[in-house]
């Protein structure tokens, strides 16, 4: 079992390399072990490309030659962090490939909750006589794909709240001017996070006061979809949030207009269950994860609705003595991390 955990951890290390590129697919890693040696490994390609198991097999072909690799597969173990798929999607079923290649054993981190898989991939392997083990590092395998699991099981994106506050609990100045709280290292880390999520959301006030581009310009990564809550369409068309670096979706009360990079979506009952409405619309657009960066009113609306999964709060050394209070979060801190002289506090919503 210790050996199984060791190689499953390697699968997880590989899986995270797909962060920000595989959505709405899950992040998966795969390792092929033969006589105590790894002969192939891989992780899921960007969306539409080969899955982890296929890439591991191809890696073995490149290292050993196809004929030699196929011979060794008969006495090899395939480790994979998520149940092999059993249906035709963008690619053929991985479970069928493992059966065809006659792997001796398959070790699976956790089952896939997607209705068209959910035990069916495992069943195919077992019916073919392949020795199977399920549940190795199961919690870790589920955690790494918490975005995927949330979308499948709750029909909404995984929601990450992010903000910075002063040491004495203030979010912004009273006069609504822009003033940075966190340091440069924290700002760069936020840009890294943006590249790992499907979409980023702000409200009208943030768009007007900060005029953010909401891109990953301080980090190498894709720009997320930009989501703007703008009930009365107050944000001008030349605002930075509408530049051509990414698509922007505007939820409002007045107009629906579907253009290339600027999509307006009118909600009929705008003020009624707004967080729930937004998340369901984004779910229908295959948005698997959402990071909410402000403002305080927008963040608090998701906290009040109880619809959030993770909160990342930077606390600086600054003390203002006055200002607009930071959002009220009653959850217990799960972890802390120093980012320069800022403290990053991580929370998870255990009530969801």
The single residue of 5, 41, 53, 196 carrying the catalytic annotation is: 53
Quick one: which of 133, 145, 139, 199 has its CA closest to 16? 145
Q: Kind of pairing, strands 324-325 and 37-43?
A: unpaired
Q: Is 186 annotated as a binding residue?
A: no
Q: Is 217 annotated as a binding residue?
A: yes
Q: Is 295 annotated as a binding residue?
A: yes
Is 310 catalytic? The answer is no
Q: Is 296 annotated as a binding residue?
A: yes
Q: Is 74 annotated as a binding residue?
A: no
Q: Is 300 annotated as a binding residue?
A: yes
CB-CB contact of 314 with 339 (8 Å):
yes
CB-CB contact of 112 with 26 (8 Å):
yes
Say whether 309 sits in a helix, a strand or coil: coil
Gap between the Cα atoms of 346 and 286, Å rounded: 26
Q: Is 324 annotated as a binding residue?
A: no
Q: Is 269 annotated as a binding residue?
A: no
Helical segments of 28-160, H only: 52-64, 66-73, 94-100, 120-127, 138-144, 146-154
**How many CB atoms sit inside 10 A of residue 183's CB?**
17
Q: Is 141 annotated as a binding residue?
A: no
Strand-pairing partners, residue 294, are 202
Token representation of residue 257: 């207009």
Residue partners of 134: CB distance under 8 A and separation at least 6: 83, 108, 110, 111, 122
Q: Is 6 annotated as a binding residue?
A: no
Gap between the Cα atoms of 140 and 4, Å rounded: 14
Q: Is 44 annotated as a binding residue?
A: no
Say whether 267 sits in a helix, a strand or coil: coil
Q: Is 297 annotated as a binding residue?
A: yes
Q: Is 344 annotated as a binding residue?
A: no
Give the annotated binding-site residues for NADP(+): 164, 180, 210, 295-301
Give the annotated binding-site residues for substrate: 194, 206, 214, 217, 293
Give the annotated binding-site residues for Zn(2+): 51, 85, 94
Give the annotated binding-site residues: 51, 85, 94, 164, 180, 194, 206, 210, 214, 217, 293, 295-301
Q: Which sequence positions are flagged as catalytic?
A: 53
């Amino acid at each position: 079992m210790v050996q199984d955990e060791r190689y499953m951890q390697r699968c997880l290390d590989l899986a995270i390399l797909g962060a920000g590129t595989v959505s709405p697919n899950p992040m998966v890693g795969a390792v092929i072990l033969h006589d105590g040696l790894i002969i192939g490994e891989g992780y899921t390609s960007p969306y539409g490309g080969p899955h982890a198991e296929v890439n591991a097999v191809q890696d073995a072909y490149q290292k050993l030659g196809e004929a030699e690799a196929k011979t060794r597969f008969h006495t090899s173990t395939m480790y994979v962090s998520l149940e092999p798929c059993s249906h035709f999607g963008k690619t053929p079923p991985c479970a069928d490939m493992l059966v065809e290649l006659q792997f001796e054993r398959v070790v699976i981190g956790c089952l896939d909750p997607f209705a068209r898989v959910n035990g069916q991939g495992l069943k195919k392997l077992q019916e073919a006589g392949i020795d199977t083990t399920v549940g190795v590092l199961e919690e870790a395998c589920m955690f790494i794909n918490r975005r995927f699991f949330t979308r499948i099981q709750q029909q909404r994106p995984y929601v990450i709240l992010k903000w910075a506050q002063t040491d004495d609990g203030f979010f912004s100045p009273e006069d609504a001017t822009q003033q940075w709280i966190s340091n440069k290292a924290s700002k760069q880390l936020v840009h890294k996070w943006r590249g790992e999520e499907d979409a980023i959301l702000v409200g009208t006030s943030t768009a007007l006061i900060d005029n953010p581009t909401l891109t990953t310009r301080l980090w190498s990564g894709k720009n997320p979809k930009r989501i703007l809550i703008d009930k009365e369409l107050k944000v001008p068309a030349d605002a930075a949030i509408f530049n051509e670096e990414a698509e922007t979706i505007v939820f409002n009360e007045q107009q629906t207009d579907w253009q290339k990079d600027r999509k307006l979506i009118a909600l009929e009952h705008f003020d009624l269950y707004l967080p729930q409405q937004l998340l369901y619309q984004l779910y229908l657009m295959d948005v698997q994860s959402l990071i909410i960066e402000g403002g305080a009113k927008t963040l608090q609306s998701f906290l009040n609705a109880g619809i959030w999964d993770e909160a990342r709060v930077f606390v600086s050394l600054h003390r203002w003595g006055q200002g607009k209070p930071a959002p009220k979060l009653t959850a217990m801190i799960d972890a802390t991390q120093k980012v320069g002289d800022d403290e990053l506090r991580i929370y998870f919503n255990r009530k969801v």
